[in-house]
A and B are shown apart, each in its own frame.
Chain A
């Protein structure tokens, strides 16, 4: 289990306890946290679960991107070098305390 903080573009903060094995995207959807659309349901084919990891230490600590994640991020709204797809971030105890920032919009 990990406590994840989700911060909307307008600054509204949400916190959720997300069970190990779920994705950071699923943590948001199951807790009705706005700002992550996840149109493809986690299939890495929509780029509407895009988040920024503003803390550089955390960005480095996350599991590396798999093949295809950056290609999908090219198609996201305003991708940056600290962008991730939240459906690819699988929660474990190691992610306790992670903060993700949502972009202005997903589509």
Chain B
């Protein structure tokens, strides 16, 4: 059991800056994110795209913003718990018990939900029959590529993951690549390579088809694909891989009794507390009249939520407003030597 002042759910820009504000006012926090890296949407969806509306930063990419936020909280040495999802919140004796999927437990007076639009998960095949093989022979990511050696692998998708794996696996497996249209969104060089591999029959390329069914008897045997005009084909398959990008699933957050309004959590704009004492919500996941889903709004929300946490973490102390430029206490916390 880890005891702390605040558990932050979500290591996107909003959760990161809130951690900074907590550090500045002398509170400790633990940060949990189910992605394997820090940065939320900025790192997962647009690491290379420039952002132009961060105050006083005319231009920075999603990755640069994330790296700067990480740099800014370095002095506080907060712990990150990545690749883990917060599942359960329970109130006991005015403290919150927080449990994760991997079995970690935290005890804290405050929880800050900075969960964006939920946790990122791969989009799966729409076919029910694929569920039976999920994680065994129907896969949405690859951990060990040696399992495909000399096997028949059918890959679905038109982005970089689908193309890169089709190219890579074509060395040692029989690869079929299926995509719903003729154009691919992957890098031009990969698209070119796929066309070459298809021309010399190294891979079997099928466009304008999508999945219809997966078939097998205990183990996967084939996959049936369909065109929009109703034709279908059956392809032998030991493995079926789907690369359709990521979707955001609200997941467990929906079950915490927070009066959800269209996948968002209503908050009080004085301190961003939810309907439950000690649970705060900031960033894309919170809603209030006039809410803008922008990073700059998330920063402001995190600053106020941090002050809201102070009251429950230090009930016997009074929060004192201070500037970072002037306060020697804050400078000590930041490890600044003058």
User: Is A13 in contact with chain B by the CB < 8 A criterion?
Assistant: no
User: Is A70 in contact with chain B by the CB < 8 A criterion?
Assistant: yes
**Complex: A61 Cα to B117 Cα, angstroms:** 33
Interface string of A89-107 (1 = CB under 8 A from B): 0000000000000001001
From B159, B181, B293, A41 is in contact (CB under 8 Å) with: B293
From A39, A47, A71, A80, B185 is in contact (CB under 8 Å) with: A71
User: Is B21 in contact with chain A by the CB < 8 A criterion?
Assistant: no
From B126, B180, B246, B248, A74 is in contact (CB under 8 Å) with: B180
Asked whether, in the complex, the Cβ of B247 is within 8 Å of the Cβ of A107, the reply is yes
How many chain B residues touch A (Cβ–Cβ < 8 Å)? 24
Residues from chain A with Cβ under 8 Å of B158 in the complex: 74
How many chain A residues touch B (Cβ–Cβ < 8 Å)? 20
User: Is A78 in contact with chain B by the CB < 8 A criterion?
Assistant: yes
User: Is B236 in contact with chain A by the CB < 8 A criterion?
Assistant: no
User: Is A59 in contact with chain B by the CB < 8 A criterion?
Assistant: no
Interface centre among A46, A48, A74, A81 (most CB of B within 10 A): A74
From A29, A40, A74, A77, B157 is in contact (CB under 8 Å) with: A74
Contact (A80, B245) CB under 8 Å given A39-B117, A74-B157, A74-B158: no
Interface string of B205-221 (1 = CB under 8 A from A): 00000100000000000
Q: Closest B residue to A75 by CB, please name it.
A: B245
Asked whether, in the complex, the Cβ of B248 is within 8 Å of the Cβ of A39, the reply is yes
**Complex: A71 Cα to B157 Cα, angstroms:** 11
User: Is B151 in contact with chain A by the CB < 8 A criterion?
Assistant: no
Asked whether, in the complex, the Cβ of B263 is within 8 Å of the Cβ of A45, the reply is no
Q: Closest B residue to A43 by CB, please name it.
A: B293
Interface string of B123-136 (1 = CB under 8 A from A): 10010000000000
User: Is B183 in contact with chain A by the CB < 8 A criterion?
Assistant: yes
**Complex: A71 Cα to B181 Cα, angstroms:** 10
Asked whether, in the complex, the Cβ of B45 is within 8 Å of the Cβ of A45, the reply is yes
Asked whether, in the complex, the Cβ of A107 is within 8 Å of the Cβ of B248, the reply is yes
**Complex: A104 Cα to B123 Cα, angstroms:** 15
Contact (A78, B126) CB under 8 Å given A39-B263, A40-B117, A46-B248: yes
User: Is A15 in contact with chain B by the CB < 8 A criterion?
Assistant: no
From A45, A47, A77, A80, B228 is in contact (CB under 8 Å) with: A80
Asked whether, in the complex, the Cβ of A74 is within 8 Å of the Cβ of B247, the reply is no
**Complex: A37 Cα to B250 Cα, angstroms:** 12
Asked whether, in the complex, the Cβ of A81 is within 8 Å of the Cβ of B249, the reply is no
Shortest B58–chain A CB gap in Å is 21
Give how many A-B residue pairs fall within 8 Å (CB-CB): 50
Shortest A54–chain B CB gap in Å is 12
Asked whether, in the complex, the Cβ of A107 is within 8 Å of the Cβ of B157, the reply is no
User: Is B244 in contact with chain A by the CB < 8 A criterion?
Assistant: yes
Residues from chain B with Cβ under 8 Å of A75 in the complex: 123, 159, 244-247
**Complex: A47 Cα to B244 Cα, angstroms:** 11
Q: Closest B residue to A107 by CB, please name it.
A: B247
Residues from chain B with Cβ under 8 Å of A46 in the complex: 117, 247-248
Residues from chain B with Cβ under 8 Å of A80 in the complex: 180, 228
**Complex: A40 Cα to B335 Cα, angstroms:** 39
**Complex: A37 Cα to B248 Cα, angstroms:** 11
Asked whether, in the complex, the Cβ of A79 is within 8 Å of the Cβ of B263, the reply is no
**Complex: A79 Cα to B185 Cα, angstroms:** 15
**Complex: A39 Cα to B126 Cα, angstroms:** 19
Asked whether, in the complex, the Cβ of A74 is within 8 Å of the Cβ of B117, the reply is no
**Complex: A79 Cα to B245 Cα, angstroms:** 13
Q: Closest B residue to A38 by CB, please name it.
A: B262
Some 14 contacts from A to B, beta carbons below 8 A apart, are: A29-B262, A37-B263, A39-B117, A45-B46, A47-B247, A71-B159, A75-B159, A75-B245, A75-B246, A80-B228, A81-B228, A107-B123, A107-B248, A107-B249
Given pairs A46-B247, A47-B247, A75-B159, 10 additional interface contacts (CB within 8 A): A37-B263, A40-B117, A70-B181, A74-B157, A74-B158, A74-B159, A74-B181, A74-B185, A75-B245, A78-B126
4 closest cross-chain pairs (CB), A and B: A75-B245, A71-B185, A39-B117, A107-B247
